[in-house]
Structure 1
Amino acid sequence: MAFLQLKTYWIYIDKLNAGLNILADIKTSIKSLQYYIFKLIFMLVLNAKNLDLFILKLERLRW
Protein backbone atom coordinates (compact mmCIF):
# COMPACT_ATOMS: atom_id res chain seq x y z
CA MET A 1 0.00 0.00 0.00
CA ALA A 2 2.80 2.41 0.88
CA PHE A 3 4.48 1.60 -2.44
CA LEU A 4 1.37 2.59 -4.40
CA GLN A 5 1.11 5.82 -2.41
CA LEU A 6 4.78 6.61 -3.06
CA LYS A 7 4.30 5.86 -6.77
CA THR A 8 1.34 8.26 -6.84
CA TYR A 9 3.46 10.99 -5.27
CA TRP A 10 6.20 10.43 -7.84
CA ILE A 11 3.63 10.82 -10.63
CA TYR A 12 2.43 14.11 -9.11
CA ILE A 13 6.02 15.36 -8.72
CA ASP A 14 6.76 14.41 -12.33
CA LYS A 15 3.69 16.29 -13.58
CA LEU A 16 4.60 19.32 -11.45
CA ASN A 17 8.14 19.28 -12.83
CA ALA A 18 6.82 19.10 -16.41
CA GLY A 19 4.55 22.08 -15.70
CA LEU A 20 7.44 24.09 -14.28
CA ASN A 21 9.56 23.29 -17.34
CA ILE A 22 6.77 24.54 -19.60
CA LEU A 23 6.54 27.78 -17.60
CA ALA A 24 10.30 28.28 -17.86
CA ASP A 25 10.12 27.77 -21.65
CA ILE A 26 7.29 30.31 -21.91
CA LYS A 27 9.29 32.84 -19.86
CA THR A 28 12.32 32.37 -22.10
CA SER A 29 10.18 32.78 -25.23
CA ILE A 30 8.65 36.00 -23.90
CA LYS A 31 12.07 37.47 -23.10
CA SER A 32 13.31 36.55 -26.57
CA LEU A 33 10.22 38.08 -28.15
CA GLN A 34 10.68 41.29 -26.14
CA TYR A 35 14.27 41.54 -27.35
CA TYR A 36 13.30 41.18 -31.01
CA ILE A 37 10.41 43.63 -30.71
CA PHE A 38 12.72 46.20 -29.07
CA LYS A 39 15.33 45.64 -31.78
CA LEU A 40 12.72 46.03 -34.54
CA ILE A 41 11.36 49.27 -33.05
CA PHE A 42 14.90 50.57 -32.53
CA MET A 43 15.77 49.88 -36.17
CA LEU A 44 12.54 51.40 -37.45
CA VAL A 45 12.94 54.59 -35.42
CA LEU A 46 16.58 55.15 -36.23
CA ASN A 47 18.14 54.91 -39.64
CA ALA A 48 21.62 53.44 -40.13
CA LYS A 49 23.43 56.77 -39.86
CA ASN A 50 21.78 57.68 -36.59
CA LEU A 51 22.45 54.20 -35.29
CA ASP A 52 26.16 54.57 -36.06
CA LEU A 53 26.27 57.93 -34.29
CA PHE A 54 24.43 56.47 -31.32
CA ILE A 55 26.86 53.56 -31.08
CA LEU A 56 29.81 55.98 -31.28
CA LYS A 57 28.33 58.03 -28.44
CA LEU A 58 27.95 54.88 -26.37
CA GLU A 59 31.55 53.94 -27.09
CA ARG A 60 32.73 57.38 -25.95
CA LEU A 61 30.66 57.17 -22.77
CA ARG A 62 32.08 53.75 -21.99
CA TRP A 63 35.66 54.98 -22.22
Structure 2
Amino acid sequence: MPAYEFVRSTYSGGNAGQECVEVARNVPGTVAVRDSKDADGPILQLTQGSWTAFLRSVSHHG
Protein backbone atom coordinates (compact mmCIF):
# COMPACT_ATOMS: atom_id res chain seq x y z
CA MET A 1 0.00 0.00 0.00
CA PRO A 2 1.31 3.49 -0.80
CA ALA A 3 2.51 5.76 1.99
CA TYR A 4 -0.45 8.11 2.12
CA GLU A 5 -0.05 11.46 3.86
CA PHE A 6 -3.51 12.16 5.29
CA VAL A 7 -4.76 15.65 6.05
CA ARG A 8 -7.83 16.51 8.11
CA SER A 9 -10.25 19.07 6.76
CA THR A 10 -9.96 22.58 8.11
CA TYR A 11 -13.75 22.43 8.54
CA SER A 12 -13.31 19.72 11.18
CA GLY A 13 -13.18 20.76 14.79
CA GLY A 14 -10.22 19.71 16.88
CA ASN A 15 -12.29 17.95 19.52
CA ALA A 16 -11.72 14.27 20.21
CA GLY A 17 -14.53 12.02 19.02
CA GLN A 18 -15.75 14.35 16.30
CA GLU A 19 -16.74 12.67 13.09
CA CYS A 20 -14.64 13.68 10.13
CA VAL A 21 -12.58 12.26 7.32
CA GLU A 22 -8.98 12.64 6.28
CA VAL A 23 -7.87 12.87 2.67
CA ALA A 24 -4.51 12.05 1.08
CA ARG A 25 -3.58 13.38 -2.36
CA ASN A 26 0.16 12.73 -2.34
CA VAL A 27 0.01 9.59 -4.54
CA PRO A 28 -0.38 10.50 -8.23
CA GLY A 29 -3.71 9.41 -9.73
CA THR A 30 -5.22 8.46 -6.37
CA VAL A 31 -7.23 10.23 -3.69
CA ALA A 32 -7.40 8.23 -0.46
CA VAL A 33 -10.05 8.81 2.21
CA ARG A 34 -10.27 7.41 5.75
CA ASP A 35 -12.15 7.94 9.01
CA SER A 36 -10.08 10.17 11.29
CA LYS A 37 -11.18 8.18 14.36
CA ASP A 38 -9.79 4.91 12.95
CA ALA A 39 -6.36 5.56 11.45
CA ASP A 40 -5.78 1.80 11.12
CA GLY A 41 -9.17 1.20 9.52
CA PRO A 42 -10.12 0.85 5.88
CA ILE A 43 -9.00 3.34 3.25
CA LEU A 44 -11.18 4.25 0.31
CA GLN A 45 -9.01 4.74 -2.78
CA LEU A 46 -10.51 6.80 -5.60
CA THR A 47 -9.36 8.08 -8.96
CA GLN A 48 -9.09 11.85 -9.25
CA GLY A 49 -12.10 11.80 -11.58
CA SER A 50 -14.25 9.90 -9.10
CA TRP A 51 -13.22 12.26 -6.28
CA THR A 52 -14.09 15.31 -8.40
CA ALA A 53 -17.50 13.82 -9.29
CA PHE A 54 -18.17 13.08 -5.60
CA LEU A 55 -17.29 16.66 -4.57
CA ARG A 56 -19.54 18.09 -7.29
CA SER A 57 -22.36 15.84 -6.15
CA VAL A 58 -22.20 16.82 -2.48
CA SER A 59 -21.74 20.52 -3.22
CA HIS A 60 -25.02 20.54 -5.15
CA HIS A 61 -26.89 18.97 -2.25
CA GLY A 62 -25.59 21.22 0.54
Coarse TM-score class (shorter-chain normalised):
0.3 to 0.5
The structure in which a higher percent of residues are helix is 1
Greater per-residue strand proportion: 2
Structure scoring higher RCO (CA < 8 A, sep ≥ 6) equals 2
Please say which structure displays the higher CA radius of gyration: 1
